[in-house]
Amino acid sequence: MIRKIFAAGVLLAVMQGCGSDSDSGMPETVAKGPGAALKCTSSGKNAWDTYGAAAFVAVNESIVSLVLADTSGELGDSFSKIGSGNPPSTADDAPTFKGKLAAFLVYAYGGPTSIEYTDGKTYTGPQDMALAHEGLAITTDQYNYFIMNQVVPALTMNGVPDEDVSSCFAPVVVDKDFVASIVGK
Amino acid sequence: MNRALARTLKIAAGVTALTLGTVAFIHTSTGDAIASGLVRIAHGGCPFGYDQAMNPRERERARVHFAAEHRGETAAASRPALGFTLDHTTRPQIVARMSAYGVRCSRGQGMSDLTCLHVPSVALPGNALPAPERTLWFTFGVKDQLLSVIAVSRDPNVETIGAAFSGTQAALNSQAGTATASNGPADSRTLAEGLLRQAVSEYRFTNYYAVARAANMGTAYVLTEEYRSLPD
């Protein structure tokens, strides 16, 4: 149960990264994400309460690395430069991008609605998935590939056991309404 | 007056140097990549690149980047790729073959240069392993040569995907070499145990990378196959 929730949160975070920056207009009144009620097999608690901030940061970073290595190494290289301050205009882009992913991930799996990421800035978790993916025309195959080849490996390589992937991470990302909010927009 | 003039000249020189430096940097490969990424982000596009296909030059660079992180220690005995020949089969050849079997292909988006939908096994050269209809994503280099092919197939029946995974695994083991990493059997019991339960076999060689995954996606079981040429 916990595993399912975690996977879902990760997916939400990454998918949000592919959309427009549309979170600013979201209300702060949403208390819990879709995975908050899921229970990890290993702990009986939700993913956020089971794994905590450090693990969520690690998974977030892993997803970004896997996606960039897999689909656009060149852009991956650019992301490794962004944040270096060279050129100066790139100083905050990568951390900001990752911060938004992380905020969505944390929120989706039972954490707070906003977080302070590793760059010291505050990011908001609740985001409009459909709006974020509008115009991207993501297919079911692309979605499945992303979950199978980037999200699940990011979880397992950071120590999340299979049982928790299934229990507290997966249900969010395989939920048909959630999938429908991303695919075919 | 002289001090003000000197100050103005210093500022002008600084701005000019910064502008020239920035322009020069953007024309380097790294600068170009950063600029492209920033433009995508600024326009609300997907910074991961799912929404825009790379040009062949960018594909080749991405391939080098991928190889640096996934290269193995020995060469593959052979480099199976669904019957296509990595680094030799060309885009026109693939399009022609698919067309002959009535398969619809279109220009790819993001992670592919050419996407072919509902591809039956019979449309693949060399008696490719049976599996449910595949979606194929191809990428090509500067000479239109095949760099990689990714296949995604799905079926509601776990036995179908389990058998396709096992066949892919066996073919890779016999043709390329032993898997460098494997995780989980693809039998129906294991895959059906839980959502996102996976079986994985990964193959890393100096000149070739392949990975097969079978997973329980809830509403269906899915098989992904990846076959990539790695540059020297």
Give the confidence band of A25 by pLDDT, cuts at 50, 70, 90.
very low
Reported as a single tens digit per residue, the pLDDT across B83-97 is 999 999 999 999 999
pLDDT of residue A161 exceeding 70, the answer is: yes
pLDDT of residue A117 exceeding 60, the answer is: yes
The angle formed by the CA atoms of residues A184, B221 and A148, to the nearest 5 degrees, is: 65
Answer for the pair B184, B199: CB distance below 8 angstroms, yes or no: yes
Residue B39 confidence (pLDDT): 45
Q: Which of residues 21-50 of B touch A (CB under 8 A)?
A: 22, 25, 29-31, 33-34, 36-38, 41, 44, 46-50
Euclidean distance between CA atoms A45 and A23, whole angstroms: 28
What tokens does B202 get? 């990964």
Residue B19 confidence (pLDDT): 54
List of chain B residues whose C-beta atoms are within 8 Å of the C-beta of residue A87:
22, 25, 31, 34
Euclidean distance between CA atoms B139 and B123, whole angstroms: 18
Domains in chain A, start-ordered, CATH in brackets?
2-20+49-182 (1.10.490)
Residue A145 has its nearest CB partner, among B66, B152, B193, at B152
- The yes/no answer to whether this complex scores an ipTM above 0.85 is no
Answer for the pair B125, B101: CB distance below 8 angstroms, yes or no: no
Residue B215 confidence (pLDDT): 96
What tokens does B162 get? 């389990």
CB-neighbour burial class of residue A79 (10 A; exposed 0-12, middle 13-18, buried 19+)? buried
Reported as a single tens digit per residue, the pLDDT across B135-184 is 999 999 999 999 999 999 999 999 999 999 999 999 999 999 999 999 87
Q: What share of chain B is helix, strand, coil (3-state, %, to 5)?
A: 40, 25, 35
Cβ pair B217:A70 closer than 8 A: no
Cβ pair B54:A74 closer than 8 A: yes
Q: What does the pLDDT average to over B103-124?
A: 89
Reported as a single tens digit per residue, the pLDDT across B203-218 is 999 999 999 999 999 9
Identity of residue B219 = T
Reported as a single tens digit per residue, the pLDDT across B216-227 is 999 999 999 999
Instruction: Sort strands B114-119 and B134-140 into parallel, antiparallel or unpaired.
Output: antiparallel
Residue A16 confidence (pLDDT): 40
pLDDT of residue A134 exceeding 60, the answer is: yes
Q: Which of residues 28-87 of A touch B (CB under 8 A)?
A: 67-79, 81-82, 87
Q: Which of residues 180-219 of B touch A (CB under 8 A)?
A: 184, 193-198, 211, 213, 215, 217-219
The dihedral sign for the CA sequence A91, A97, A98, A104: positive
Reported as a single tens digit per residue, the pLDDT across A46-104 is 999 999 999 999 999 998 888 777 554 333 333 333 344 443 333 346 667 778 888 88
Nearest Cα of chain B lies from the Cα of A59 at a distance, in angstroms, of 16
Residue B24 confidence (pLDDT): 55
Reported as a single tens digit per residue, the pLDDT across B24-65 is 544 444 444 444 444 444 444 444 445 556 778 888 888 888
Give the confidence band of B110 by pLDDT, cuts at 50, 70, 90.
low
CB-neighbour burial class of residue A154 (10 A; exposed 0-12, middle 13-18, buried 19+)? buried
Interface check for B51 against chain A (CB to CB < 8 A): the answer is yes
User: In a 3-state reduction of DSSP, which class is residue B34?
Assistant: helix
Cβ pair B44:A152 closer than 8 A: no
